[in-house]
Amino acid sequence: MKLPPNLHIIEKRPETLPEKVRAVLGAAHWFSDRGAWKRDEFLEEVNDAVDAAHGQAHATDQHLTAMLISQIEVYVKCWTALQTEGLVRSFNSGQTPGKNPYLAIADKALGRAATLLSELGLSPKTRPPSRPNGKFAELLAGP
């Protein structure tokens, strides 16, 4: 029996999913490969997402996109540092354990990135509903 694409995830057979679906599943490539962060690729992904969600971008979106990229870059650098240094560090010549400062920086950058994604209409909550396509697209689009 052939399952619909969304159920292949449940069956743990992601290799049977269409390439387009597999490309957006899971974590970003830099999450597991520390050297994989590429700002130009991320810029292209954001531009494609804005175009897909809204049909066109406004000139001021480039500033929001630049801010988003800088915050994601800060987060990636902190994430990378946390992977090697850990969440707890020693201070005062090893006498005082404490939270790794990268944790607070990453948390702040993540919050700012989420806000910028919302401003660009790219978070799940702020994305417009998908546009209908196919032979009934004009009818479903309404007046």
CB 59 within 8 A of CB 83: no
Relative to beta strand 96-99, strand 88-91 is antiparallel
Question: pLDDT value at position 18?
Answer: 66
CB 79 within 8 A of CB 105: no
Q: At what angle do helices 39-54 and 61-85 cross, to 10 degrees?
A: 130
Q: How far apart are CA 132 and CA 137, in angstroms?
A: 5
Take residue 10 and report the two structure tokens written for it: 């449940």
Please report, in tens digits, the pLDDT of each residue of the chain (143 residues total): 565 555 545 455 556 666 666 666 667 777 777 788 888 998 998 888 888 877 777 788 889 999 999 999 999 999 999 989 999 998 899 889 999 999 999 999 999 999 999 999 888 888 776 666 666 666 666 66
Q: How far apart are CA 55 and CA 68, in angstroms?
A: 20
Write down the pTM of the prediction.
Answer: 0.69
